[in-house]
């Protein structure tokens, strides 16, 4: 069914209207500091069903539940280990999601049928005031069509969601630009990194101790079809533009030679920071620091599609700090296709 979509601003009226729609069980796209989210009442099965429909998302991929007050974690998680409290104290409000045993009040459709739930307290003031106005938690996956890159501005959302949802709140560009760090915390306090993000592996280790943190298989390498993903999102192809993405590892001079041999009119190259690209094909600069690269990656993937690029050659980014998250998203966009030059 086609729905007309209103673009709302972040005035009190805009926020009130968004909260009204959400209270009526509708779906509204809202800004967060990471990426835009496709929000609905996390406790209302019918409202959550509309999210899955609008995105075309597989039913077994669970949604993150967004709260505005730390204490609400006790309403939606059955067990909150001490290390979860430590992580929340350090990184909330902010770009980190914790997967914990779910309380019965969370409907099974929200948790994709799992007995755990991902909970996040975002820092974006617009997101927070909408959640507070609603008085219920918001289930919100990234506001893109399933499989395409996450939206980092309202225009990206509109392209995927116009005529599919009643409203989009335009809160400008997202400051982080990549989805939240997702960790599971088990009853013994062991923390497992399921999706890297702006809160880094080092940040997590400092918060709960190095020995308590592991990285899930599937974060940096492709899972075999027989392997069970610890996070259902890992098994789906993600963040993919229409263009074929290839990651190239190696010295810059070898990279330049390789691209010169392989590029044509339908190719673009993505480089970093100070690297001057003297190539006879289009190029984008992702930026110098990993933080900068995080804010630009998804916009560049979408832009490449807009101008009809068929093949995108990426220089492999450094994987330190936030770079691990950039590389993780890139690996998925590339379907794990990496070419190493010698
Ligand atoms: O930054 C973000 O996290 C954004 C904003 C809107 O908050 N949301 C987001 O949601 O990226 P989504 O649905 O696109 O990605 C959530 C990821 C998925 O890969 C999902 O499989 C995983 O988190 N996830 C959610 N709940 C889980 C659970 N109970 N167990 C394991 N993985 C879970
Ligand atoms: Mg997503």
CA gap 233, 184 in Å, rounded: 14
Q: How far is the CA of 113 from the centre of ligand 1 (A)?
A: 14
Substitution candidate for ligand 1 out of 62, 149, 150, 154 with most atoms within 8 A of CB = 62
Q: What atom in ligand 1 is closest to the CA of residue 142?
A: 14
Q: How far is the CA of 237 from the centre of ligand 1 (A)?
A: 14
CA gap 35, 22 in Å, rounded: 19
Q: How far is the CA of 64 from the centre of ligand 1 (A)?
A: 5
Q: What is the pLDDT of residue 158?
A: 98
Q: What is the pLDDT of residue 342?
A: 80
Q: What atom in ligand 1 is closest to the CA of residue 234?
A: 19
Q: How far is the CA of 141 from the centre of ligand 2 (A)?
A: 5
Q: What is the pLDDT of residue 186?
A: 95
Pairing between β-strand 138-139 and β-strand 37-41 as defined by DSSP bridges: antiparallel
Which are the contacts of 78, defined by CB distance < 8 A and separation ≥ 6?
100, 101, 102, 103, 104
Any ligand 1 atom below 6 A from CB of 33: no
Q: What is the pLDDT of residue 227?
A: 78
Q: Are 299 and 152 in contact (CB under 8 A)?
A: yes
CA gap 170, 7 in Å, rounded: 7
Q: What atom in ligand 1 is closest to the CA of residue 114?
A: 29
Q: Tokens 């599609």 correspond to what residue?
A: 305
Any ligand 1 atom below 6 A from CB of 117: yes
Q: What is the pLDDT of residue 148?
A: 87
CA gap 239, 255 in Å, rounded: 24
Specify the residue with its C-alpha closest to ligand 1, atom 15: 141
pTM as predicted? 0.96
Q: What is the pLDDT of residue 273?
A: 75
Nearest bound ligand to the CA of residue 35? 1
Cis peptide preceding 93, ω within 30 of 0: yes
Q: What is the pLDDT of residue 265?
A: 86
Any ligand 1 atom below 6 A from CB of 325: no
Q: Tokens 């617009």 correspond to what residue?
A: 126
Q: How far is the CA of 255 from the centre of ligand 2 (A)?
A: 31
Please tell me whether residue 216 adopts helix, strand or coil conformation.
coil
Please identify every stretch of the chain with a pLDDT value under 50, giving residue numbers as ranges. Answer: none
Q: How far is the CA of 279 from the centre of ligand 2 (A)?
A: 34
């Amino acid at each position: 069914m086609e729905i007309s979509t209103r673009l709302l601003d972040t005035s009190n009226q805009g926020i009130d209207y968004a909260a009204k729609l959400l209270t009526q069980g509708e779906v509204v796209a809202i800004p967060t500091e990471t990426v835009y989210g496709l929000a609905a009442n996390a406790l209302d099965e019918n409202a959550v069903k509309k999210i899955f429909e609008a995105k075309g998302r597989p039913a077994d991929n669970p949604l993150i539940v967004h709260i505005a007050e730390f204490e609400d974690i006790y309403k939606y998680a059955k067990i909150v280990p001490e290390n979860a409290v430590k992580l929340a104290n350090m990184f909330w409000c902010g770009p980190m999601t914790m997967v914990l045993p779910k309380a019965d009040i969370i409907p099974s459709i929200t948790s994709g049928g799992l007995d755990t739930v991902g909970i996040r307290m975002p820092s974006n003031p617009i997101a927070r005031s909408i959640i507070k106005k609603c008085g219920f938690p918001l289930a919100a996956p990234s506001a893109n069509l399933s499989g395409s890159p996450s939206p980092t501005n309202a225009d990206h959302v509109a392209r995927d969601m116009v005529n599919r949802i009643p409203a989009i709140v335009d809160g400008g560009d997202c400051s982080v630009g990549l989805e939240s760090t997702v960790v599971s915390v088990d009853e013994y306090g062991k923390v497992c990194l399921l999706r890297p993000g702006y809160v880094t592996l080092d940040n997590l280790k400092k918060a709960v101790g190095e020995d308590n943190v592991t990285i899930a298989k599937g974060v940096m390498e492709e899972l075999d079809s027989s392997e069970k993903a610890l996070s259902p999102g890992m098994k789906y192809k993600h963040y993919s533009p229409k263009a074929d993405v290839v990651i190239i590892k190696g010295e810059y001079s070898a990279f330049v030679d390789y691209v010169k041999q392989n590029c044509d009119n339908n190719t673009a190259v993505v480089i970093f920071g100070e690297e001057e690209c003297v190539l006879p094909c289009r190029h984008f600069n992702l930026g110098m620091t990993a933080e900068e690269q995080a804010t630009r990656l998804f916009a560049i993937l979408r832009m490449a599609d807009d101008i009809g690029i068929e093949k995108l050659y990426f220089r492999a980014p450094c994987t330190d700090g936030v770079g691990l998250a950039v590389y993780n998203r890139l690996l998925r966009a590339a379907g794990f296709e990496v070419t190493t030059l010698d």
